[in-house]
Amino acid sequence: MKNVALIGFESTGKSSLFNLLTRSSVSDERNFRGSSIICREKSLENGQVKLIDTPGIRYKSDNTTTELALSALQRSDTVVVVMRATDAFSEWEKLTPLLQRSHQQVAIVLTFADKVIAGLEQIIRVLRESAQVPVMALDVRRASEEGLQLLLRLIEQAGQPGSLAYVSNNSVPVLNISTHSPQQTWFEHPQAGPLLALIAVGLLFAVPVWAAWYFSSLLQPLVEVTAIHPIESVLSQSPTLLQALLTGSYGLISLGIYSFIWAFPAVLFMAFSVAIAEDSGIKERIIFALDPWLCRIGLNGTDMIPLLSGFGCNVVAVFQTRSCSRCSRQNCISTIAFGAACSYQTGATLSLFSAAGHPALFAPYLLLLFITGCVHTRLWKNRSVENTERLEMAPGWLQWPRWRALRWSVKNSFSQFLLQAMPLFLIICVIGSLLDYLAIIDAISHALAPVAAFFHLPAEVLPGIIFSLIRKDGLMVLNQDSGALIQTLTLSQLILLVWIASTLMACLVTVLIIAREVSWRFAARLAAKQAVSSLVIAMAITLIFT
């Protein structure tokens, strides 16, 4: 099977081209040919071509990422260079050094052809003569079946490039090229831009999370009455081990269905929100606006989207860090694990504060989580991105999102959640049920009672903390007896309890996914650093309020 790799800068339409060629965005995301590079892969309908979408280039350090992916290709494979027609010469000038070190067949696709008012044929001619490879231009958003067939024919005609001479705007013998310029917005304003971007980020997070929480809160009682309670009644006379595994506090049916009810809407609505931001071009404006601020704590603007997804589901967010810059991905994962309150954690925290009679504590808790998350990332960052040289790229266009693109993007997120995250959720349900059935949790709680006393917490709250290490909704076990236990806690004890349960460690599913995505060593180091940060802040809370 022939491999065809798409390379190019971010926001050039690579992903849209990938979706067009594969007729879907549902794809495998994996380490490409044993390298450390995560690429999207999918075979075309003819079964003879495997399409590979390499990470988009935004920073000069990302050149290394693309170069590693290219080095994993064979000579018989093909590289499709994707560039914006409006900036074709400047992008070609930056990409030429990468292609000079490769030996694959090359073809060039110019996107955003509709943004070129005049001179498109001259652009194609100059590039074709310079690179000596086939070149075509199209508007990916409105490509027809005929355009798709021309694109497939272009890939078949890809050839060995010639001299790959530099082509710059100053050396092009074309005088009558005219293009549309991207709209200027307040996002580009040096002072107002970051603030506006923060507001946009807040809306992108708050609206879908609130909608998911509201939908789940309505759905949960219905599912309990129509499904969970009848099943529990049927299994009431079955062996106790079977009851524990299926309908116990962490049973496959009870917690498994409950987890799906609370996680799936958050994942779905967050995916829809992010897809709108991506296809409309707002995402790129937010990234550019927030980049200077995020660089100060070891992140960059691209990391905002996975961080947002973390408030829906940390597991899906870790998957989405595959799109992060190579120099900041581990920092982004660390921030997600520590400071992104997933839908389970959010729901459990709201439930606990409400049962204790102090729902107003949720806002200061989130503020504390945000501030300490920034400090944690800054202190433990693996490498600095402050001096990462950013490639000068023109901003993309703002446009109305397409339903087809939204549908494809949401479908891909749903597939990741259903096929990669949910199986691990169910495995954790089995583990939690066995630990509960064998009374191991009770034994651990008894052994850790002195530690709880150090933080001025009663030993009775330890099961909630321990279960929260398995699942972030583990705190819900403390809602027993209508919250009688937590109603006896002081405000400082209540905040401390929720803080430790939320931040001591990411949930077990997230830790396992991080280990699989990066390495077991990194996951262990991350868990240790997170525990240190959490306990140090917990001690500070104890000293201040007691």
Looking at per-residue confidence, does 302 or 245 come out higher? 245
Least confident residue range of 37-41, 287-291, 535-539: 37-41
Looking at per-residue confidence, does 143 or 112 come out higher? 112
What mean pLDDT, rounded, does the chain reach? 80
**pLDDT tens-digit series, residues 390-406:** 545 556 778 888 787 78
pLDDT value for 533: 95
Cβ(292)–Cβ(194) below 8 Å: yes
Cβ(445)–Cβ(453) below 8 Å: no
Mean pLDDT, rounded, for 124-140: 88
Which of 285-294, 326-335, 501-510 tops mean pLDDT?
501-510
With a cut of 90, say whether residue 139 has pLDDT above it.
no
With a cut of 70, say whether residue 503 has pLDDT above it.
yes
Mean pLDDT, rounded, for 139-143: 80
- 167 CA to centre of own chain: 36
Looking at per-residue confidence, does 264 or 237 come out higher? 237
pLDDT value for 374: 87
Least confident residue range of 108-122, 138-152, 161-175, 409-423: 161-175
Buried residues in 158-189 as b, exposed as e (16+ CB within 10 A): beebeebeebeeeebeeeebebeebeeeebee
Q: How many helices (H) and strands (E) does the chain have?
A: 24, 9
pLDDT value for 391: 45
pLDDT value for 168: 52
Mean pLDDT, rounded, for 283-294: 81
Mean pLDDT, rounded, for 34-38: 48
**Whole-number percent of the chain with pLDDT over 90:** 11
Helix (H) / strand (E) element for 135: namely strand 135-137
pLDDT value for 109: 94
Residue 62 burial by CB count (10 A; 0-12/13-18/19+): exposed, middle or buried?
Answer: buried
pLDDT value for 2: 82
With a cut of 80, say whether residue 136 has pLDDT above it.
yes
**pLDDT tens-digit series, residues 477-491:** 776 555 677 888 888
Mean pLDDT, rounded, for 42-62: 75
Domains detected in the chain: 2-179 (3.40.50.300), 192-383+405-545 (no CATH)
pLDDT value for 338: 92
pLDDT value for 21: 85
With a cut of 60, say whether residue 175 has pLDDT above it.
no
Between the alpha carbon of residue 80 and those of residues 111, 121, 379, 416, 424, the distances in Å are: 12, 19, 41, 26, 36
> DSSP code of 501?
H
Distance CA 471, CA 468 (A): 5
Instruction: Report the predicted TM-score, pTM, of the whole model to 2 decimal places.
Output: 0.67
**Whole-number percent of the chain with pLDDT over 70:** 84
Looking at per-residue confidence, does 411 or 480 come out higher? 411
In one-letter notation, the amino acid at residue 226 is T
Mean pLDDT, rounded, for 346-370: 80
Residue 139 burial by CB count (10 A; 0-12/13-18/19+): exposed, middle or buried?
Answer: middle
Cβ-defined contacts of 158-161 (< 8 Å, 24+): 158/78, 158/79, 158/80, 158/105, 158/106, 158/107, 158/133, 158/134, 159/105, 159/106, 159/107, 159/132, 159/133, 159/134, 160/105, 160/106, 160/133, 161/99, 161/106, 161/131, 161/132, 161/133
Looking at per-residue confidence, does 107 or 509 come out higher? 107
Mean pLDDT, rounded, for 289-300: 81
Cβ(29)–Cβ(52) below 8 Å: no
Where does the pLDDT of residue 35 fall: very low under 50, low under 70, confident under 90, or very high at 90 and above?
very low
Mean pLDDT, rounded, for 78-105: 84
